Structure 1
Amino acid sequence: MKNRIITILLLFCCLLVTTPISAKKWRAKHTVLIALDGWGAYSVSKGNIPHIKNLMEQGSYTLHKRCVFPSASAINWASMFMGVGTELHGYTKWGSKTPEIPSRVVNEHNISPTIFSIMRKQYPDAEIGVLHEWEGIKYLVDTLALSHRGQAPSYDDYPEALCEMAETYIKDKKPALVAVCFDQLDHVGHKSGHDTQEYYNCLHTLDGYIGRIIQAIKDAGIWDDTIIMLTADHGGINKGHGGITLEEVEIPFIIAGKNIKQSGEFQESMMQFDTAATIAYVFRLEQPQVWTGRPMKQVFKK
């Protein structure tokens, strides 16, 4: 009898040593990242965006998050997902598909480690998705690490397509992590100008899509165990971006949901690459040594 008890205890100890951190210990079981290309922080106070502002009231936010240089798309989507700046991931141009400077560190898929690849490595069975409009996103997310990737058809012909894809995916798969990347606002910024009526009309439309995605999370029955994050790759001025003005560099970051403080605006500095680190903090992931991103721990209850 004594030997049997000892054997059971030994087996229990082995399970404790070999079992990874359970999903039950995540700060939330689901994280939904929604990012709007070309969304400058200056626009938040001026926009008719009730769903976005409601999330700001429910959680924490900053309107002083800064993108990395140059303040253009591929560079900043890479930093958002890869947890490092231009100097380390090596993507230096608006439309970079591969790094112009060799990435300082690459993973088994020969790409700088992304939030998706470290999630996959540490939780192999997790449902991980990326949905996007701009084709350039697919070169920056490590598609081999994803459970699902979907690119919406042209929003000129079908503007609601990405929203509908996100609604369906969330309700069908209840992903642990999904990024939904809208391009429409940046397109309007280039065509009609940033900080114009056309720009704010588009921002209002996107706010409606965000409301629909929130409803999809609720319809999926996972709202009470979800963290939602809203951010951007860069802002803009006149009909462009890539420069060093605050209109181009400062972007919003809003976070609300499970285990997030309802504390309003936080004063700590945040950079683009801190987004990946903050998602990693939700799932208690071990960050790669190369990452320079810091999680915004102050917005969490625990």
Structure 2
Amino acid sequence: MSLGEFDLISRFFMRPEGQGPRRAQVGNGDDCAVIAPAPGHHIALSTDTLVEGRHFLSTVDPARLGHKSLAVNLSDLAAAGARPLGFTLALTLPRADATWLEGFSKGLLALADAHDCELIGGDTTAGPLTIGITVLGEVPAGGALLRNGARPGHELWVSGQPGEARLALEAFRGTLSLSTEDFQATRDRMECPAPRVALGLALRGVASAAIDVSDGLLGDLGHILRRSGVGATLHTEQLPRSACLTRQPAAQQLDMLLAGGDDYELLFTAPAEAHAQVLAAAQQAGVAVHRFGHIDAEPGLRLLDQGQPLANRWTSFDHFRA
């Protein structure tokens, strides 16, 4: 039996009463969702679109794709220090494949439940496989982490171990080879990123500026520098390197670390006097963080490797130039 649009929504995306988070005054099933933040809070909102062949491979497991589709949006909330509330899903499908939808919805809703984030509406249509999600969160009024708060003397930090997702992508492309163990580990990072929501919440009132690393560390750092009107000095040897990454040639390690993208780690700045608070926030969130540079008054980005100047040959991802 073929699935119609409303059968599809009812079967895979309508949660039974009592299952999943319930925050919306009016949720999935009406023309509009109605949601109210807690008193003294503002709504934080972000949208991302994933297109087959551009953002994910056609061979990806549907459950992993469902996970990643929401994870990249939750990562934006993490960068703002916002607590997830709900999300909408706009799903364009070449056909209504029940097996694919079963896996996709399972991965999507499992991550949603893990972050107490309610599916509150959306749309389905026929066409090339495209996934659009808009996520909503709440943050205390005036307390959002933004990109414009970096100041001279502030320290530069990054969470986790950037570069691994790009390793997996290059292995898929055939430009490098990985052991079976390294390929599986990096593939997990590429297909199932962990949004750093807990870290973003713990950094409220501690970090001065933040962004999630989606298009490459240097490119995303550039957004903070431009919005804050400052420059930075970066020490490449202080960047975290996973065991998988260190097994690659030194030049490739830098390529993955500085311009890899798809990491969904948090890149942030904080006053030097807040160093201990940053470490405490990371411990509270259960996420490793590493300091790798500092903010300068002089515009521009200066790269150092073991104290020696390093030419910046890297560019960030651009959807219309890639």
Q: Which has the higher helix share?
A: 1
TM-score, normalised via structure 2 length: 0.19
Q: Which has the higher strand share?
A: 2
